[in-house]
Structure 1
Amino acid sequence: MGLAVGTSATLRVPASSANLGPGFDCVGMALGVWDQMTATVTERPGLVIEVTGSGAGEVPLDENHLVHRTMVTTWQHLGVTPPQGLHLSAVNEVPHGRGLGSSATAIVMGVALAHVLAAAGDARDGAAGEGPLLDLGRVNALACALEGHPDNASASVFGGATLSTTDGDRPWPQTRTVPLRLHPEVTPYVLVPEATLSTHTARSVLPDVVALPTAAAHAARAGLLVHALTVDPGLLLEGTRDLLHQEARRPSYPESMALVDALRAEGLAATISGAGPSVLVLTAGEEPGRIEAVAGSGATPWRVLAPGVPERGVHAVSDTL
């Protein structure tokens, strides 16, 4: 099956914060910072990519662009022939390399765009059926498999907060994602530094083995995290305490860990956002002034965001079918 010239779709995908302390590789939260991309099948052969905002001048503008690579992989998975001509136009807000899920956002964008364009082709051929053009379950399954771990990807697919488990080996592990109904008082703040850190670098310092007592205590903290997020925000400080990954990564982002320590000393539930170096603070209605005061007391400048948690994840802005 091919894609008809003129088929076009515009999607938005939210940023995300992963782990939230002890929810390593399984808990994620969507953040109201958005990437938007329009994909159009063109009559003129070749690939044209335009990027404004975050990543402009840095990301590749050819077949190596992560969204495009993901679209091609998705079409192969669906048995769809990639178009000879394709135009991608991106407006990005999600900061790159700062632990806010920019890679997962790109992968979710690519999987979703490929599905929407393929479904639009089915609609033209009279085979669309009654279902929506964007099947979030299918998007989540493939995006998590391509990303390698489901925390960021699932939050960007579904919005809100999510808990995911993965079974099976590559290339197509199976992911189950369930929504977490956030307590209405839970409010995220994100402190973003100028420095960047690649996920690969952050993961390279993690130990292969942890002691059984540490693993048991960490599992208990992960359960407490879910309870604090959904039932009792008064337990966020305890529930966000990590025993598995942050200390091992401390040399990779010392300024971030110093800020986490300072915030937690003030009773604020701070944790590294994803692989860092951004810092996530989960509050139960505190004013941001306390967070800004602690962040401003050190030598490192921090940009404080209050993005909120969007209730929906990837979605279509407009379609031309």
Structure 2
Amino acid sequence: MIAETIKVQVPATTANMGPGFDCLGMALGLYNEIHMSLSPGKLFIDVQGEGAEDIKRDETNIVWQAAQRVFQELDLENPGLTIKLINQIPTSRGLGSSAAAIVGGLIAANQLTGGILDQDRLLGLATELEGHPDNVAPALLGGIVISVVAEGEVHYIKINPPEDLNTVVAIPDFLLSTRKAREVLPKTVSLRDAIFNLSHTALLVGALCEKRLDLLSVAGKDVLHQPYRASLIPGMKEVIQAANEAGALNVTLSGAGPTVIALTSGFSEEIARSMEQTFQRANVKCQVKMLKPAVEGTIIL
């Protein structure tokens, strides 16, 4: 074990990007920091910033549980830890806060133990803890990541985002759990809808690889999850329409929501204003952020 304090920085993420349900995600330039050091015989957790009033400070804390998974993987006794969380990523808003906690906890604990586990194994552990790789993969690797789990192994390809791609992110002032957002989804879908999302996901990935931003408005459409989740988010449909009319390249739910994210070429005050005002007309307070995609994933500070 290393005696020094390990500090890591983990980006927010947006999953699905429209049609790429549970298999596509992108890192965003909004970050949490995790500071971790040995504290023999005790656990101490301090939380600053987003979620400070709600995040658990005991052994149910996600960062602590991720760290424990590393110690278990290495067949080490669980040491006491001091953990400091400095959070900018809002919790339960569809921006990958739990993925950031999991990835940050794994990376920090791995560094404390000498960096034994490699990146692919850490991604496998993160996927095991999160349940799917769409957020944890870009949180760890950065950029845009397509990921598939096959026979317990995560297979992925990272794409560097087009240089002129940016985002406008409207974050409503209410929580929406991933569990609740999944409960409204149908158990089965029609062949027509499956083909729709398969074809649009393929076009979206191709457009991102070829830097064809002009195709995003078509490629980013979805019929598998967003129509069902709209009932949970007042004003969602109107916000998407307003942002598109203001010039966005594509507008989707970020992950399970309630955050709505617009892909843009350059930053647009008009798009940001249209999203905020449309949510306000639905009696939903929100904050709007303009974020660059993050090419780098989790880094050790």
Using the size of structure 2 for normalisation, the TM-score is 0.93
What secondary structure is seen at the aligned counterpart in 2 of 1:151? coil
2:113 paired residue number: 118
Q: Distance in 2 between matches of 1:51 and 1:290?
A: 33
After superposition, what is the alpha-carbon deviation per residue over 1:134-186, rounded to whole angstroms, capped at 9, x for unaligned? 73222212111211111110010011111111113xxxx21111111322221
Q: Distance in 1 between matches of 2:84 and 2:246?
A: 44
After superposition, what is the alpha-carbon deviation per residue over 1:242-299, rounded to whole angstroms, capped at 9, x for unaligned? 1110011111113223312332345521100000000010112362323323432442
- Contact kept in structure 1, 2:176 and 2:257, CA below 8 Å: yes
TM-fit CA distance, 1:117: 1.1
TM-fit CA distance, 1:193: 1.1
Q: Distance in 1 between matches of 2:32 and 2:146?
A: 23
Q: How many residues align?
A: 296
- 1:157-172 aligned at under 5 Å gives the runs 157-168=140-151
Instruction: Select the residue among 234, 250, 262 that pairs with 2:230.
Output: 250
Larger radius of gyration: 1
The change in CA–CA distance for 1:220 and 1:247 in structure 2 (over 3 A counts) is same
- 1:193-204 aligned at under 5 Å gives the runs 193-204=172-183
User: Given the alignment of the two structures, is residue 218 of structure 1 paired with residue 213 of structure 2, yes or no?
Assistant: no
The change in CA–CA distance for 1:11 and 1:27 in structure 2 (over 3 A counts) is same
Q: Distance in 2 between matches of 1:181 and 1:190?
A: 20
- Contact kept in structure 2, 1:19 and 1:274, CA below 8 Å: yes
Q: Distance in 1 between matches of 2:73 and 2:267?
A: 46
1:13 paired residue number: 10
67-76 vs 265-274, which deviates more?
265-274
- 1:138-157 aligned at under 5 Å gives the runs 138-157=121-140
Q: Distance in 2 between matches of 1:58 and 1:214?
A: 38
Q: Distance in 2 between matches of 1:266 and 1:309?
A: 21
Q: Distance in 2 between matches of 1:257 and 1:69?
A: 37
Q: Distance in 2 between matches of 1:316 and 1:286?
A: 29
Q: Distance in 2 between matches of 1:312 and 1:219?
A: 28
2:118 paired residue number: 135
- Contact kept in structure 1, 2:8 and 2:33, CA below 8 Å: yes
The change in CA–CA distance for 1:189 and 1:134 in structure 2 (over 3 A counts) is farther
What secondary structure is seen at the aligned counterpart in 1 of 2:137? helix
User: Given the alignment of the two structures, is residue 271 of structure 1 paired with residue 266 of structure 2, yes or no?
Assistant: no
1:207 paired residue number: 186
Q: Distance in 2 between matches of 1:95 and 1:292?
A: 20
- 1:290-309 aligned at under 5 Å gives the runs 290-297=271-278, 298-299=280-281, 300-309=284-293
Instruction: Select the residue among 32, 35, 38 that pairs with 2:35.
Output: 38
What secondary structure is seen at the aligned counterpart in 2 of 1:96? coil
Q: Distance in 2 between matches of 1:76 and 1:111?
A: 11
Q: Distance in 2 between matches of 1:80 and 1:243?
A: 46
Q: Distance in 2 between matches of 1:206 and 1:112?
A: 33
1:82 paired residue number: 78
Give the partner amino acid of 2:242.
A
Q: Distance in 2 between matches of 1:293 and 1:212?
A: 35
CA RMSD across the alignment = 1.7
Give the partner amino acid of 1:138.
R
Q: Distance in 2 between matches of 1:291 and 1:147?
A: 31
Q: Which runs of 5+ in 1 are unaligned?
A: 121-132
What secondary structure is seen at the aligned counterpart in 2 of 1:109? helix
Q: Distance in 2 between matches of 1:35 and 1:91?
A: 6
What secondary structure is seen at the aligned counterpart in 2 of 1:209? coil
Q: Identity across aligned pairs (percent)?
A: 34
Give the partner amino acid of 1:137.
D
275-284 vs 260-269, which deviates more?
260-269
Instruction: Select the residue among 261, 265, 268 that pairs with 1:284.
Output: 265
What secondary structure is seen at the aligned counterpart in 2 of 1:143? helix
Give the partner amino acid of 1:256.
M
Q: Distance in 1 between matches of 2:47 and 2:267?
A: 36
- Contact kept in structure 2, 1:154 and 1:164, CA below 8 Å: yes
What secondary structure is seen at the aligned counterpart in 2 of 1:306? strand
Give the partner amino acid of 2:136.
A
16-25 vs 289-298, which deviates more?
289-298
